[in-house]
Structure 1
Amino acid sequence: MKFEYMGIDHIQLAAPKGCEEEARKFWGEIVGLTEVQKPESLQGRGGCWFQYGNQQIHIGVEEDFLPAKKAHPAFVIGNIEDFRLHLEGNGIKTKEDAPIDGRARFFVNDPFGNRVEFLEYK
């Protein structure tokens, strides 16, 4: 093979028009990601982008928005139980799912109903 995968640049989640304020509160203030400026050529589309390490999550406006209830991003977290308490303390409901050996994990819904997983390797 003459090519190789280098990593994931970004994940995009859809949201309804006018989502930016709620997205900034959830992804920026509560989850703690850093907002980054969208390229000028994309700013008229709405939405906002956030960064963690070398990866980004893009919240994009979708005209006929429906939340992703099964497909989801999964974020690796250190000290996941402290993070869970932080989320719950900010009014975010966490949900358990089937256990996976070697991982502690839970799910939340973003303000738009998209499923998001947080996990820690044990």
Structure 2
Amino acid sequence: MSKETVRRWLYFLAGGGLNTLLTYGIYLLLAQFISYQKSYVIAYISGIIFSYIFNSQVVFNVKKSWKGVLAYPLVYLLQYILGALLLNLLVERLGIPKEVAPILIIIALLPATYLLSKKILNSTSA
């Protein structure tokens, strides 16, 4: 693995950690003033925007574009679909506790999320 690939992975993981803290903080703040469902939606969308900006500028170093902004949520849609399918498999078929399964899914989907982000950002950069 090249030095650049290792750097990208480390930044990708760091960005994911920052994104988690940011979206959770936004959720907690907004939930004091508006419904938790609306807070969750706003926080989730904020996370997608942060992820797009961070990954395009810091991780993959590509130029931002409207095409990228519009295409990037596909990463999260595909991640959600794969995660939901895996969750069902792990809990219902393999008997893994529902409290543990999401952690395994996050770890399992990291490579796919990284590769999807890279592909979409590289193909949509200005």
**Do both share a fold (TM > 0.5)?**
no
* TM-score when normalising by structure 1: 0.22
* TM-score when normalising by structure 2: 0.21
Give the structure with the higher percent strand: 1
